Amino acid sequence: MTFLWASLDPRARLLIVIASTIVIASTTHLKPFAIYLPLIVAAIASCSRASWIYLTQRLAACSPFILMASVLLLFQYDLDANGRPAGIVPAATVAAKGYSAALLLAFLTESTPLSEILWAMRKLGCPESLNLILGMMYRYTALLEEEWAKLERARDSRTVRPLRYSQLLSVYGRQVGVLLIRSWERAERVHAAMLARGFHGSWPIWHSPRFQMKDALVLTTAIALLLAIRITVQ
């Protein structure tokens, strides 16, 4: 199964995740998620040597937003006849949808290089401007981290005494300002270097995969299985 997922066309992987997310998001009942979540976890465990630490970190990063949406929905409903909040089931359904979609997207980004994802998006008709923005945002994240680490080292080397809590806000505020200026200048140099090396707006990929019958079969099977669960389990 690991070889099967790794051998799929990037477009097939992207379509599987998008279609699965659409089916899950359109599910209005809570019961199907008792099958969705174990199925997704089993598929990830069998289809790839996924880093569960990476997946857990991504779910933790999404948790504040998912839980906030669930809690807000919980308080929109009144009490039921038994005196319990009537929004428990809708809130749990929203949380299940959010975690399922986040797990699928995290698995896609962990198992598929960014260049292949962007190539698949371009081949599927995604706007070139959006494709370029996503690629630049991903690559400039590392640039920001590098510049911030330089500022941290420079500040620590020039700080004799530990900073008091009353000074932290002022120091970090100036540090963020310097980070923006230095990152802007660094970004201009990086952009000039990319143009000098022949960058024309699309990220290169080492090979050009072909969408085969195997890709269509796996895509159809995954969508049909999720639709069957959505329709039959109520």
Average pLDDT over the chain, rounded to an integer: 83
Indicate if 45 and 143 belong to the same structural domain: no
- CA-to-CA distance for 232 and 80, rounded, in angstroms? 27
pLDDT digits (tens, 9 = 90+) for 22-80: 999 888 888 889 898 888 888 888 776 667 888 888 889 899 999 898 888 877 766 66
Is 203 domain-assigned? Answer: no
Q: How many domains, the chain? A: 2
Indicate if 172 and 84 belong to the same structural domain: no
Is 105 domain-assigned? Answer: yes
Q: What angle do CA 20, 24, 25 make, to 5 degrees?
A: 115
Query: Has residue 1 got a pLDDT over 60?
Result: no
Find out whether 66 and 22 touch, Cβ atoms under 8 Å.
Answer: no
Report which residue type is found at 139.
R
Find out whether 42 and 56 touch, Cβ atoms under 8 Å.
Answer: no
Is 120 domain-assigned? Answer: no
State the average pLDDT over residues 103-122. Answer: 87
- In angstroms and rounded to an integer, the radius of gyration of the C-alpha atoms of the chain is 23
Check residue 84 and give its pLDDT: 65
Indicate if 149 and 188 belong to the same structural domain: yes
* pLDDT band at residue 100 using 50, 70 and 90 as cut-offs: very high
> Could you tell me the residue range of the domain that residue 159 belongs to?
126-196
Check residue 86 and give its pLDDT: 65
Indicate if 104 and 7 belong to the same structural domain: yes
Indicate if 31 and 58 belong to the same structural domain: yes
Indicate if 191 and 222 belong to the same structural domain: no
Report H helices in 26-127. 33-47, 52-74, 88-111, 114-123
Check residue 79 and give its pLDDT: 63
Return the higher-pLDDT residue of 88 and 227.
227
pLDDT digits (tens, 9 = 90+) for 117-173: 888 888 888 887 888 888 888 778 878 888 888 888 888 787 767 667 767 777 788
